[in-house]
Structure 1
Amino acid sequence: MPCIKIETNVSLDPAKAKALALKLAQDLAAPIGKPVDRILAVIEPGMALSYRGTSDPAAFVELKSIGLTADDCPALAVFIGEFLERELGVPASMGLIEFKPLDPGFTGVNKGTVAKPAN
């Protein structure tokens, strides 16, 4: 159950943000090794965000997933940096990424947790 959220100071119209969230989920499926129908992708454009002492285009990215390991993070950082540059015009150096492994017992979906699905 990967969740990726990009908060950025880049402005996007709502239709573009919606399309970009779908593209992000589709593009992430291969590098994270999970089917797209398990991925939650969120794009929050137009945020009041300052990074490295400027208000230049920047992004804060959170990527959470069950089974995520420190060994997975370098390749995922490359993927995210390239996505930021290609799709948002945010230089990879202006993107800060927070990776978090999720515990199945503390991840809920469909009225249950991933560790103990509802009947």
Structure 2
Amino acid sequence: MPYLHVQTNATPTQPERSAFLEAATEVVAQVLGKNPAYVMACIETGLSLNFASSELPAAFLELKVLGLDPSKNKELATLLSDMARVHLHVSEDRCFSRFVDTPRGHWGLGNDVF
């Protein structure tokens, strides 16, 4: 189950947040070859965030995946930062991405683990 957690000091409208979450969920599923029904995405907006000694709009995007193929990271970083620019009004050069490969047995859904 891929999980995308976005933290930003930007203040997009509710429709912009929803559009970002929908687009990000689809991109993550497509690039990783996962079923979109198992992708979860969360966004926190309006945070106090300083990046590169500035409080201009910035975002931290963290994607946790079971069995992440690192060859996909550059494509994901490009697509996700582009969506942050479009929907959240954060410049690509102010989007910091982190990709985490979660080992099997460390990810659960309901009363089971993968």
Per the TM superposition, whether the score is higher than 0.5 is: yes
Greater mean alpha carbon deviation, residues 21-30 or residues 54-63:
21-30
Listed as ranges, the gaps of 5+ residues in structure 2 are none
How far the C-alpha of 1:104 sits from its partner, in A, is: 2.0
- With normalisation by structure 2, the TM-score equals 0.89
After superposition, the C-alpha distances for 1:40-83 in whole angstroms (9 at most, x for unaligned) are 10111111111010000100010111121221211111111211
Q: Residue 40 in 1 paired to residue 15 in 2?
A: no
> 1:94 is matched by which residue type in structure 2?
R
Larger radius of gyration: 1
Share of identical aligned residues, percent?
25
Match of 1:25 in 2: 25
Aligned length: 114
CA 1:30–1:24 in structure 2 vs 1: closer, same or farther (change >3 Å)?
same
Query: With CA pairs under 8 Å and 6+ residues apart, which has the higher RCO, 1 or 2?
Result: 2
For the aligned residue pairs, the C-alpha RMSD in angstroms reads 1.5
CA contact (8 A) 2:17 2:87 kept: no
| Stretches (4+) displaced over 6 A | none
- With normalisation by structure 1, the TM-score equals 0.86
Listed as ranges, the gaps of 5+ residues in structure 1 are 115-119
